[in-house]
């Protein structure tokens, strides 16, 4: 996965701070590999979480509840 930790938008203060918090700031293969690994891990965690919510039929209800919408009633 192509990622960058130097140049482009990484020069802005908020982006610099975010990279620093993730310990991915600076030039070098270690920082780029760490950032790519973190992105992959976060993506996998999100996918597992979404899949489990869909599998146990709570995906729609939780989105409705958190969006302050009405929770759909189960069909009996």
Residue-wise pLDDT for 42-60, tens only, equals 999 999 999 998 999 888 8
Is the predicted pLDDT of residue 17 greater than 60, yes or no? Answer: yes
The span from the CA of 15 to the CA of 18, in Å, is 5
* Residue 46, both tokens: 């999100």
Per DSSP, 46 falls in state H
Residue-wise pLDDT for 30-39, tens only, equals 999 999 999 9
Mean residue pLDDT across the chain: 86
Is the predicted pLDDT of residue 71 greater than 70, yes or no? Answer: no
Q: How far is CA 62 from the centre of its chain?
A: 18
Q: What burial class does residue 25 get, using C-beta atoms within 10 Å of its C-beta: 0-12 exposed, 13-18 middle, 19+ buried?
A: middle
pLDDT band at 12 (very low <50, low <70, confident <90, very high): very high
């Amino acid at each position: 996965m192509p990622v960058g930790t130097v140049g482009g938008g990484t020069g802005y203060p908020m982006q610099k701070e975010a990279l620093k918090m993730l310990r991915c700031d600076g030039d070098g293969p270690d920082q780029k590999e760490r950032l790519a690994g973190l992105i992959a891990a976060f993506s996998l965690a999100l996918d597992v979480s979404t899949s489990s919510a869909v599998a146990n039929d709570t995906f729609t209800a939780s989105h409705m509840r958190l969006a302050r919408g009405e929770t759909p009633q189960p069909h009996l």
